Homo-oligomer: A and B are copies of this chain.
Amino acid sequence: MEPDGDQIDALLRLRGVRVTQARRSVFELLSGSALPLSAARIDEMLGNAGRSIDLVTIYRTLETLERCGLITRADRFNEGWRYMVISREHHHMIVCSECGSASPLDVCDLNRIEQSLERTTGFTNIRHSLQFYGICAGCRR
């Protein structure tokens, strides 16, 4: 499921951008994460793994990966943008309004709606972002 080093290199090369350690590290990290990650969190996790990258570079790397169509910005709730790899299966999240913890869901049946929107609104390239919020069991107490 998660692409290994060589596959990442190939994906980047295919898009005509240079293969660098920063891009490898960030993409690898996102590939291995079930949840969308913020730039700050990526910075922290890479630091903990002894692979520190400047936060500015992380932002530029995320922008590059997004332009290459490898990742996407999930949403921007309290803190800031969170990023995730674009995968075949389309996921949604439920996020606790108190502690920010998130769990992935496995439902999405909005593609039909998107198709009808293309006809009725004149918009093209329609995509959507669906997010549920609530209070998780831990925070209820």
Contacts and interface: CB of A to CB of B under 8 A. Distances in A.
Interface string A103-118: 1010100100110011
Contacts of A105: 117, 121
Interface of A: 75-77, 94, 96-97, 103, 105, 107, 110, 113-114, 117-118, 121-137, 140
Contacts of A103: 121
B117 A126 contact: no
A127 B121 contact: no
B107 A124 contact: no
B76 A94 contact: no
A123 B96 contact: yes
Given A77-B76, A117-B132, A123 B137 contact: yes
A127 B132 CA distance: 6
Contacts of A122: 136-137
A128 B128 CA distance: 13
B117 A140 contact: no
A116 to B, nearest CB: 9
A5 to B, nearest CB: 32
Nearest to A121: B94
A135 B125 contact: yes
Given A76-B77, A105-B117, A117-B105, A133 B129 contact: yes
